[in-house]
Amino acid sequence: MWTSDTHFWLEGIVGITRAFLFLLIISIMTGANIRELQHKSFWEKLANSCSNTFNKNWPYGFIAQITAFIVLLYGLGNGIIIIISALFIPFITWMGISPQDPNAAYNACVYFLKNLSVIPLAMVYILNICGVRSTN
């Protein structure tokens, strides 16, 4: 049964999942296995790689990439998610499912799609422009 503090626990689970996803993305982008993430030398190499990338691209390249990120991923990505979510309620009504609170169903669709697309893509894009690449 849902209690008044259920949202707290669900946000905790989402936060832990995002932290795990972040480490998994770093592992995949660098070509390292999960065990290598425990070693200080891995993080030193990664910090050095990121520092070199920042020194090379600062400020114009970095600002241009952040601008492209905001326009394309957040602007276009969120726009597409809002359009899909707005079409979701008429679609499920057409299927014969009548939600008690259409606004809650719309918000659930928005958050679901963002958690599947925009948030992981944002992590990958930001890590990429920060210089996270194979350290081998």
Decide: 118 and 74 in contact? Cβ < 8 Å: yes
Could you report the per-residue pLDDT of 4-26, keeping only the tens digit for each? 666 778 788 888 988 998 999 99
Q: Decide: 120 and 112 in contact? Cβ < 8 Å.
A: no
Residue 125: CB atoms within 10 Å: 16
The mean per-residue pLDDT over the stretch 44-61 comes to 88
23 in a domain, yes or no? no
- Residues 74-85: what's their mean pLDDT? 86
Q: Per the structure, how many domains does the chain have?
A: 1
Query: Could you tell me the residue range of the domain that residue 106 belongs to?
Result: 57-136
Q: What is the mean pLDDT of residues 104-123?
A: 85
Whole-prediction pTM value?
Answer: 0.72
pLDDT reading at 2 higher than 60: no
- pLDDT value of residue 1: 42
Q: What is the pLDDT of residue 44?
A: 92
pLDDT at 135 over 60: no
Whether residue 38 is contained in a domain is answered as no
* Residue 78 belongs to a domain: yes
Whether 22 maps to a domain, the answer reads no
In a domain, 9, yes or no: no
What would you report as the CA-atom Rg of the chain, rounded to the nearest whole angstrom?
Answer: 19
**Residue at 104 is within a domain:** yes
